Amino acid sequence: MVKIRTIELGNFPLLLAPMEDVSDPPFRAVCKQHGADLMYTEFISSEGLIRDAAKSVQKLDIFEYERPIGIQLFGSDVDTMGECARIATGAGPDLIDINYGCPVKQVACRGAGAALLQDIPKMARMTAAVVKATPLPVTVKTRLGWDDSTKNIEEVAERLQDVGIEALTIHGRTRAQLYKGDADWRLIAKVKENPRIRIPIFGNGDIDSPEKALEYRNRYGVDGIMIGRASIGYPWIFNEIKHFLATGEHLPAPTVADRVDACRRHLDFSVRWKGERTGIFEMRRHYTNYFKGLENFKPFRSRLVEAPTHAELRAILEEIEEAYELALTDE
């Protein structure tokens, strides 16, 4: 049983990655329905939270059915991060996560996210401040290092464990790689093999199939896997991996009806949580992924992207289901 303090996650948990502009409550809901064991909010700016910025505060929204759920924070100032941990704790999550892995310029070039990999003493001080500020377990997500010449994750893991973190997720790339090339899990395995490391170690990067999840579990010995991009438009990946690990067999692929149902649930929650205008606009990026691989889908996608109302979108989704079911019947 993998545990973060008293939070029981099963024998090999599958975590949903915190993804900016993706891992909001509507998206998390469909992932939870399809087997995610532990989820995180989108990362929340400590500066935005201190200023009470509406977008940052909204990201604190969590729901009972999501548990266990973590709130992820990022920032560049030690004291501010401690104060934000106190604010986030008030939202009632099960744990607080610190982002030391985001590679994008808007974050890293301001001294936050993966930038802390260039200043391990500051990273340790910041982590200690967050641990001190909350009674909840504190976890961290980071990368192998800043670039190929500074792959310092083994030192990072020990230092952060020493100041009190209770789990560590490692993405198998450096900041310099961004999301290019293949994720390298060999250093993740070294961290896991270190006899000083007592906390759960979760691997992240390039897991996009049940076969790869099994291979990486066996080869690298991690306690669980965090899944990000592969879950976008395909929340079924969590239960597919679980079934394959348990039986060696594949679950049936989602039908068109399954895809429509997941997309509709996502849309309905998006509209309910964000309001019709914003909810509809922010769903547009998801349609291609939900219906990837369907023949002759382009006209439907255009209509979904252009539809101005929730009612019209629901009608189009129903039409999609009927059209593809009819096509199967005619075969």
Tokens (6 digits) for 264: 């509709």
By the 8 A CB rule, do 76 and 110 touch? yes
Q: Collect all residues with Cβ–Cβ distance below 8 Å to 318 and sequence separation of at least 6.
A: 260
Give the residue numbers annotated as catalytic, written as ranges.
102
- CA–CA gap between residue 83 and residue 70 (Å, rounded): 17
DSSP state of 61: -
Tell whether omega for the bond before 308 is within 30 degrees of 0, i.e. cis: no
Among residues 213, 217, 261, the alpha carbon closest in space to that of 235 is found at 261
User: Measured at the alpha carbon of residue 245, what is the angle toward residues 62 and 161, in degrees to the nearest 5?
Assistant: 55
Tokens (6 digits) for 129: 């401040």
Among residues 259, 240, 253, the alpha carbon closest in space to that of 300 is found at 259
